């Protein structure tokens, strides 16, 4: 184990909490612990902090604050949108989504299918792209909702959400997008996108885990997933997680301020990608068509298991991932890469490296130094050093 500071290149899994976010949260974990729904001023001042955070998160996506529902995570946002569309339109029992969604969506849809709902899982091509025409054709009279992620968490492939939203609107079908990976990486504008529902997660945005939000467009029929008190305009029961929501608000503000830093992150990513491809034979990038997430790189190494690469990277103090669900002992190839038609060998030899504003040239240099040696070692090649 290296005694150097860790080199964190797994920012699509979670991100470091920004010190400014911790600072904003602290008063709400110490002195300001009132219930935001209480009638006395000790509670009301906490309610005002909640309102301010809602305004900041709304500003991040150009929504009206009343369209923001705070949730416990991105997963809850996705579940709420799909659940709501099915409950408010009981006659419609068909769902359209893609084969490359996050498990927060795909596992839910699979479960709904078992309960008798009908599911269309749209395929992607070898570049990870959707056939929008096929999406158009898959919409039926009984389609309750179309749910398509904005950007893929494993490959960084970006889908044409504006175009898809327009198709859904023209066909009178509700549209949800899981935009968890785009916040802080692109300018987000729900008015321009035209989505009915959009979910975000705070921990992908330098705020803590355990808080997220669902945008529900004004006037869209809505049914709660969690029923209880009148919080969140009676759309999500449960006393609000005020300190975390305040942190989310601060993170939203910081994300907008640091959009100008994205080109720097992208050039770090590009230097890392090009360096790895140049120094490691039989390596290729997965999902490279622009536009794509500026911080994400997914690379396949033939004759090499991601499991081994990640283990040796870990020993060198570098955090990366394979983007696939790790079950004890066996590493199944990623459903995203499999949907793109990668062979089992290449899918099992793919790793994801994802950067954030906290990464520097030194991190890229470290990966460029360590990874070629690791791959050679695992391939059983003689290592000359």
Q: Are 258 and 270 in contact (CB under 8 A)?
A: no
Task: Give residues 104-133 in contact with ligand PLP (rule: CB under 6 A).
Answer: 104
Q: Pick the binder of ligand PLP from 148, 149, 183, 339 (CB under 6 A).
A: 149
Which of 7, 73, 319, 326 does the annotation list as catalytic? 326
Token readout for 292 is 């794509």
| CB closer to ligand PLP out of 108 and 174 | 108
| CB closer to ligand PLP out of 217 and 352 | 352
Among 196, 104, 73, smallest CA distance to 144 is for 196
Q: Is residue 98 close enough to count as binding ligand PLP by CB under 6 A? A: no
| CB closer to ligand PLP out of 153 and 376 | 153
Task: Give residues 191-210 in contact with ligand PLP (rule: CB under 6 A).
Answer: 201, 203-204
Going along the chain, which residue ranges are E strands? 7-8, 68-71, 94-98, 118-122, 143-147, 174-178, 197-201, 212-216, 283-285, 296-301, 318-319, 326-327, 330-331, 350-354
Q: Pick the binder of ligand PLP from 36, 194, 212, 323 (CB under 6 A).
A: 212
User: Distance (Å, rounded) from C-alpha 36 to C-alpha 263?
Assistant: 39
User: Distance (Å, rounded) from C-alpha 355 to C-alpha 172?
Assistant: 38
User: Distance (Å, rounded) from C-alpha 333 to C-alpha 348?
Assistant: 5
Q: Which of these segments, 69-77, 81-89, 108-116, 162-170, binds ligand PLP (CB under 6 A)? A: 69-77
Q: Is residue 83 close enough to count as binding ligand PLP by CB under 6 A? A: no
User: Distance (Å, rounded) from C-alpha 238 to C-alpha 226?
Assistant: 8
Residue 48 CB, nearest approach to ligand PLP (Å): 26
DSSP character string of 21-52: HHHHHGGGTTT----TT-SSHHHHHHHHHHHH
Q: Pick the binder of ligand PLP from 7, 57, 69, 73 (CB under 6 A).
A: 73
Q: Are 82 and 137 in contact (CB under 8 A)?
A: no
Q: Pick the binder of ligand PLP from 34, 74, 208, 349 (CB under 6 A).
A: 74
| CB closer to ligand PLP out of 154 and 370 | 154
Q: Are 353 and 367 in contact (CB under 8 A)?
A: yes
| CB closer to ligand PLP out of 181 and 297 | 181
Residue 200 CB, nearest approach to ligand PLP (Å): 9
Q: How far is CA 236 from each of CA 226, 241, 307, rounded to the nearest angstrom? A: 5, 12, 40
> Is 168 designated active site?
no
N- to C-terminal Cα distance for the chain? 20
Q: How far is CA 132 from each of CA 46, 63, 158, 162, 178, rounded to the nearest angstrom? A: 45, 26, 13, 11, 17
| CB closer to ligand PLP out of 101 and 363 | 101
Residue 11 CB, nearest approach to ligand PLP (Å): 10
Residue 126 CB, nearest approach to ligand PLP (Å): 21
Q: Using CB under 6 A, count the residues that bind ligand PLP.
A: 15
At residue 263, φ and ψ (nearest 5 deg) are -55, -35
| CB closer to ligand PLP out of 148 and 168 | 148
Residue 115 CB, nearest approach to ligand PLP (Å): 22
Q: Is residue 321 close enough to count as binding ligand PLP by CB under 6 A? A: no
Cα-Cα-Cα-Cα dihedral sign, residues 231, 235, 241, 247: negative
- Three-state SS string over 185-247 comes to CECCCHHHHCCCEEEEEHHHCCCCCCCEEEEECCCCCCCCCCCCCCHHHHCCCCCCCHHHHHH
Q: Is residue 180 close enough to count as binding ligand PLP by CB under 6 A? A: yes
Q: Is residue 181 close enough to count as binding ligand PLP by CB under 6 A? A: yes
Residue 153 CB, nearest approach to ligand PLP (Å): 4
Residue 150 CB, nearest approach to ligand PLP (Å): 8
What are the catalytic residues?
A: 326
Q: Where along the sequence are the contacts to ligand PLP (CB under 6 A)? A: 12, 73-75, 102, 104, 149, 153, 178, 180-181, 201, 203-204, 212
């Amino acid at each position: 184990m290296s005694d150097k500071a860790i080199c964190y290149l797994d920012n699509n899994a979670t991100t470091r909490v920004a010190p400014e976010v911790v600072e904003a949260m602290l008063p709400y974990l110490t002195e300001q612990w009132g219930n935001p729904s209480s009638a006395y001023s000790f509670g009301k001042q906490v309610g005002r902090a909640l309102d301010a955070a809602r305004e900041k998160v709304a500003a991040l996506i150009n929504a009206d604050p009343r369209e923001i529902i705070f949730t416990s995570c991105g997963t809850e946002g996705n579940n709420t949108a799909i659940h709501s569309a099915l409950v408010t339109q009981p006659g419609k029992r068909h769902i359209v989504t893609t084969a490359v969604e996050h498990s927060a969506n795909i596992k839910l849809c699979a479960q709904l299918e078992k309960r008798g709902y009908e599911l269309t899982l749209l395929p992607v091509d070898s570049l990870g792209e959707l056939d929008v025409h096929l999406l158009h054709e898959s919409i039926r009279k009984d389609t309750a909702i179309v749910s398509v992620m904005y950007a893929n968490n494993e490959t960084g492939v970006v889908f044409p959400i504006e175009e898809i939203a327009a198709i859904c609107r023209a066909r009178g079908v509700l549209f949800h997008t899981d935009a968890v990976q785009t916040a802080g990486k692109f300018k987000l504008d729900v008015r321009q996108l035209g989505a009915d529902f959009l979910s975000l997660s705070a921990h992908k945005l330098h705020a803590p885990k355990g808080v997220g939000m669902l945008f529900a467009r004004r006037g869209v029929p809505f049914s709660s997933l969690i029923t209880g008190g009148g919080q969140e305009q009676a759309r999500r029961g449960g006393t609000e997680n005020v300190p975390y929501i305040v942190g989310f608000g601060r993170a939203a503000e910081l994300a907008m301020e640091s959009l100008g830093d994205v080109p720097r992150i992208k050039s770090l990513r590009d230097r890392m990608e090009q360096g790895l491809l140049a120094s490691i034979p039989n390596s290729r990038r997965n999902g490279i068509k622009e536009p794509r997430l500026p911080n994400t790189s997914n690379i396949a190494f033939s004759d090499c298991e991601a499991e081994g690469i990640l283990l040796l990277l870990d020993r060198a103090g570098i955090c990366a991932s394979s983007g696939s669900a790790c079950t004890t002992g066996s590493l199944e190839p990623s459903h995203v890469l499999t949907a793109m038609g990668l062979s089992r060998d290449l899918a099992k030899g793919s790793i994801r490296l994802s950067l954030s504003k906290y990464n520097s040239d030194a991190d890229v240099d470290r990966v460029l130094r360590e990874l070629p040696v690791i791959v050679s070692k695992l391939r059983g090649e003689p290592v000359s050093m």
